[in-house]
Amino acid sequence: MVSRRLLLAIMLLGMCQMGSAQSPTYGVGRTPTAEEIRAWDISISPTGKELPTGHGTAKEGATLYTQKGCAGCHGRSGSGSAAPTLIKSDGTMKSSMPCLSPCVNDNNVMALHSPFATVMWDYISRGMPIGKEGTLTPNEVYALTAFLLYKNNVIKEDEVLDEHSLPNIKMPNRDGFSLPAEEWKHGAPRLSGYP
């Protein structure tokens, strides 16, 4: 009994010293469980490392596009309706909303403009369908992403999207994206030489 208590004391002492440089100052707040973190962590990196296991094809996505009500707001053809354009049209169909933030029109259609397909997966997963966000299963999100990418001529109709293939899709605008030329620094102008 005594020896166990002693051991505990030594262990605690050791932990305190180990963490002294990084230990919390206030000790306010609590440690979330792994499950709590998993439930909230919906960020998807461009590498796709957080993508859940699953798969889907454009054909499955076409059915879901109607079934889940996407067509109701985005239009059966994916353009020219009240909600943002999803499928690039021949240019004659204009969305009734001139511009969203970000602008989702013409070449700004997400499937064409986003440098990474992970952004599409992430957004459908977190933000759609309106009023029922977060209800789509991973398979459904893979299928809807595949459908929109196929309709915008980015992938083939029979291509299976899953957690491995999705991050590797070469998006049309992959080279249209750069990180800032200069890293942000406290007390520095945004861009040297800029007026």
Partner 1 sequence: MDEKRSRRGFLRNGAALATGLTVGAVRPAEAQTAAAEPHAKDIKELIAYGDRSRFVTAIRVPVSERMSPDMFGLTFHVLTPLQDSVGIITPSSLFYTATHRGAFVPDIDPSEHRLMIHGMVDRPLTFTMDELKRLPYITRVFFVECAGNRAQARHKTVQETHGLTSCAEWVGVPLSLLLKEAGVQNGASWIVAEGAEEVKGGSSLPIAKAMDDCLVAYAMNGEPLRPQQGFPLRLIVPGFEGIHQIKYLRRIKLVDRYYMTYDDYGHINADPKAAALALQIGPKSVITYPSAGQQLSGPGFYEISGLAWSGGGAIRKVEVSTDGGQHWQDAELRSPAYRMAHTRFGAHWKWDGKECVLMSRCTDELGTVQPTRAEVGKFWNDPPDRPRVRGNDNTVQPWKVMSDGSVLNGLA
Residues that bind partner 1 (CB under 8 A): 19, 22, 24-26, 28-32, 36-37, 40-47, 73, 82-83, 97-103, 110, 113-116, 118-119, 122-123, 126-127, 130-131, 133, 173, 175-191, 193-195
CB nearer to partner 1: pick between 117 and 146: 117
Separation between Cα atoms, residue 185 and residue 193, nearest integer Å: 16
CB nearer to partner 1: pick between 57 and 83: 83
Q: Give min distance, CB of 2 to partner 1, in A.
A: 31
192 burial via Cβ count (<10 Å: 0-12, 13-18, 19+): exposed
Residue 161 three-state SS: strand
Q: Give min distance, CB of 76 to partner 1, in A.
A: 18
CB nearer to partner 1: pick between 91 and 195: 195
Q: Give min distance, CB of 5 to partner 1, in A.
A: 26
Q: Give min distance, CB of 80 to partner 1, in A.
A: 14
